[in-house]
Amino acid sequence: MGLRCVPYVNKFWTLTASIAVALCAGVTYSFPIWSSVLKDTYALSQEQLQLIASTANVGGYSSIISGLVYDLLAKHKKVGPRVVLLIGSVANAAGYLGLWAAIQGLFQAQLWHLAALAALAANGGTWSDTTAMATNVRNFPSSRGSVVGVLKASVGLSGSLFAMCYAGAFKPDKHSFLLFLAFAPVLVSLVALPLINTCTFVQRSELEAGQHVFTTEGRFIFSFQTLSTLAVYLIIGATLSSLYPLSRLARLIVLAGAGLLLLPLLLIPVGSGGLVAQQAEVCYSHLSNYDPDSEAEEEEEEEEEEAGHRLHNPAQVPLLAGAADEPAPGAVVVRPAFGQGMAAAPTTPAGPIPDLSPWECLQSFSFWLLFGVLVIGMGSGLALLNNLAQVVKALSGTGSEATPVLVSLFSVSNCAGRMLLGYLPERRLHAKGTPRLFFLPAVSACMAVTCLCLAFARMALLFPLAAAAGFSFGGLWSLFPAYVSEIFGLRRFAANYSLMQLAPALGSFGLAMGLAGHFYEHALAKHGTLGNTCVGQDCFRPTFLILAVLGGVATAAALLLCQREQGLYKHHARELHTYDEEVLREETRVPTRSV
């Protein structure tokens, strides 16, 4: 019998648990908070510190292994995602515990030891992110933009959330904070573990419009609203902590307030049918490629669901299917979601949706265009974030208390970019047929202009520019997973998504470390300053000027990608418009029945 007797967990409970996991998956964004103690303990130069930071980014964004493992275990819908999440928890704990031990002096670490431990710690977040992202994109294929926006916003917000944890419970003890980073994400993952599973069939609550507190779309909107409220609270709390000398008790109260604002997320599954997923009785015979024999084979292989009541793997269904027979009277008809196939008029010529393996992606020019845009755009954001403490010292001349505020501001703006550019393109695509790719050149241009302004910025201007950089950085994180699923297909989404994450890793190593570190050390030597701190606008000006030029190149590449893929999006938009109308009609007209 095995796991056949274990029911599937409601996919909305999986979404809630995944948000909690994602809120801990971006702890590497807190690097500027504790990096100074690492630099002082081992007397590191700025180039050496950036080597550690960039190696951590490489570890955090090198998720191809986690993606391959996830796809390898994809048929084990209950166990597979949990195994991947558990591996991430072990890596996170081992990495941060090692860094804490090295700073405490429990062993004398070499530079490569520190870099390897930082990469291991960051890689733990990658396994968690892959689990949350791939599981929920499969669970909600017709709302992939909203799914990506919610989860990526949570990852972006994690830096600010952990910055508040430091300010409220640990400041100025950075050693204990590093120990906290080792155990807090692991504890959250262990609590979320039983709730994570892939549930690809249609639940009754997804079809029963008007009978619950939330519709499916309403749950996503509620998630955005809750995260937005938390984001505003976090930046206000960080600003107050920086401007006014709050007592430890006051900082703890502010931190407790952030915890209370997380509680509404528990309302996401309310009215969705309880903890156990309740499958709706649906008819798939209207799909031209419906094959009851293949359904029986899948049941025999996986021993999980009744034949005739499964939702096909969305990556296996053509983008535009031919005309099909009418379903049986009284049955609930599930129209395929975006990327799952739609019945189309015979006069509409179209090929199947792309379904590329990682190797085929590497041979695609569109892949390299998107990869290049992400290398430059995300690398520029990381060049600011990883060097934020040093940028503050260069512009202010002191170890300003503004660094935690700027980290929170970047993180909150990062979250805002992920939410807005996850939700808005999705709505525009459904309502107006606007290709999602149209937003990519605008975000790339915004990052380029921000870098140009940073090259000539003074301390006061650093605050709005950090917000602009965070917004653009977050927007890219929210857009590219949806691009990967739409341009290259859903069947191998986890592996392709993980492969694309090598772009920010390369951007971090080449731009945040190589470029920024080189010019910083050059300016330091030119000033002839004792110590390892450079003061002056010229410490980072050449770096940001070069990043601004590269941003212009990225914008041009994004425009070319839009031109290449606009035909694919025309077919998608037509299908989505039909899907929305037909699903709304079926939800309000046809009763639902449980299996």
- pLDDT tens-digit series, residues 530-582: 567 788 888 899 999 999 999 999 999 999 998 888 777 666 555 544 444 44
163 pLDDT tier (thresholds 50, 70, 90): confident
CA 84, CA 98: separation in Å to the nearest integer?
22
> What are the distances in angstroms from CA 84 to CA 87, 118, 156, 246?
5, 20, 21, 41
Q: Interior CA angle at 276 toward 270 and 282, to 5°?
A: 95
CA 264, CA 52: separation in Å to the nearest integer?
37
φ, ψ of residue 282 to 5 degrees: the values are -130, 165
Kindly compute the dihedral angle of the four CA atoms of residues 32, 36, 42, 48, in this order, to the nearest 10 degrees.
40
Tell me the two tokens of residue 120. 């291991």
Q: What is the C-alpha R_g of the chain?
A: 24
Q: What pLDDT does 331 receive?
A: 43
The per-residue pLDDT for range 419-453, each reduced to its tens digit, is: 888 888 878 877 777 778 889 999 999 999 999 99
Average pLDDT of the chain to the nearest whole number: 79
| Cβ proximity of 290 and 181 under 8 Å | no
Q: Is 321 helix (H, G, I), strand (E, B) or coil?
A: strand
* Comparison of pLDDT for 359 and 238, the residue scoring more: 359
CA 140, CA 493: separation in Å to the nearest integer?
13
The per-residue pLDDT for range 201-256, each reduced to its tens digit, is: 777 777 665 455 577 888 888 998 999 999 889 888 877 777 777 888 988 999 99
CA 454, CA 395: separation in Å to the nearest integer?
11
Question: For 272, which DSSP code?
Answer: S
Q: Under the phi-then-psi rule, with left for phi > 0, alpha for psi from -120 to 50, and beta for the rest, what region is 136?
A: alpha
Strands (E) in 183-298, as ranges, are 282-283
| Cβ proximity of 466 and 159 under 8 Å | no
Q: What pLDDT does 446 receive?
A: 96
Question: Diameter of the chain by CA atoms?
Answer: 84
- Whether the pLDDT of residue 477 is over 50: the answer is yes
CA 505, CA 37: separation in Å to the nearest integer?
24
Tell me the two tokens of residue 352. 């199947």
The per-residue pLDDT for range 368-404, each reduced to its tens digit, is: 999 999 999 999 998 898 888 888 888 887 656 677 7
